[in-house]
Structure 1
Amino acid sequence: MAVPTPGSKIQIESYKHNGSLHRVWESSLVLKGTEMVVIGANDRTLVTESDGRTWMTREPAICYFHAKYWFNIIGMLREDGIYYYCNISSPFVYEDKKVKYIDYDLDLKIFPDMTYTVLDEDEYEVHRKQMNYPEVLDRILYNHIEYLQKWVQQRKGPFAPGFIDQWYERFLTYRW
């Protein structure tokens, strides 16, 4: 399997369960690329929504994708601390210089004090019915919300002290 090379640029594409394109992050810099994990970074990158609307991210972000877990984690560096936005999603695939995943609406927002809230359960329910998610998928997604909550509580992976700062420092060594 091809893996992205550190220092290369990739796009990030999220899809919906029915295969429709949901959102595209135009450019992220690869900091680590293996078959299991991709860590990328971006700052003020263009994001295009499925309806064609565009916007720019506001702050530097470290993006963590895993091939085993049904979530991805974005650590956003803001003046008052690191905020995390976690998408409950399929594991990533890498092809054509793009990291791709299916976004399943459910999100976990984590604040600098490591408190968190689950978001978009209503949106998930609508799409679950519209796109006829199988029951096994529903169980997988809610199990991975629990895994993610344990990671936060245990300060594991991207939630470990210094993780985001370390990768951000590496990002700054590249000419972006």
Structure 2
Amino acid sequence: MTTRSEPAADRTDPSLGAIMSERRRLINLAYRLLGSLADAEDVVQETYVRWYTLSREQQEAIVSPGAWLTRVAGRICLDLLGSARARRESYVGAWIPEPLPDRTEWLDGRPDGGGPADPADRVTLDESVNMAFLVVLESMTPAERVAFVLHDVFRYPFAEVAE
């Protein structure tokens, strides 16, 4: 026996799609700040927990949910980077970054990637740029790292980052 179900729009939160569409961007932000995909996913999960603990009125009062989620994720990353656990865990060997599951997120969005024509040269260039980027991030303090990634990678103005 089949029953007629309600349309999907009636059962779900209308803003759910807008909130969940930010997931990839939040994971990229947290990964670039923390250097660990597992920690990045934990940060995004905590960010969503904080969003859904807000009352309906508080959620509706937020003009830009994406900006709110980015701000909260950045602050959680900053807290995590400054925590005692992060200070205790210092690797003594050469630090090798984790591979990302989707490398297209690192490209600048152009179909040709704007790089060399030979695919092997492109891979070598991508790896060296990624490693240089991670070395620069590793040399920064947590606050500098958050400001750098939000401004230079995600193009937030410094005034908004400072808030």
Q: TM-score range by the shorter chain?
A: under 0.3
Higher strand share: 1
Q: TM-score, normalised by structure 1?
A: 0.26
Higher helix share: 2
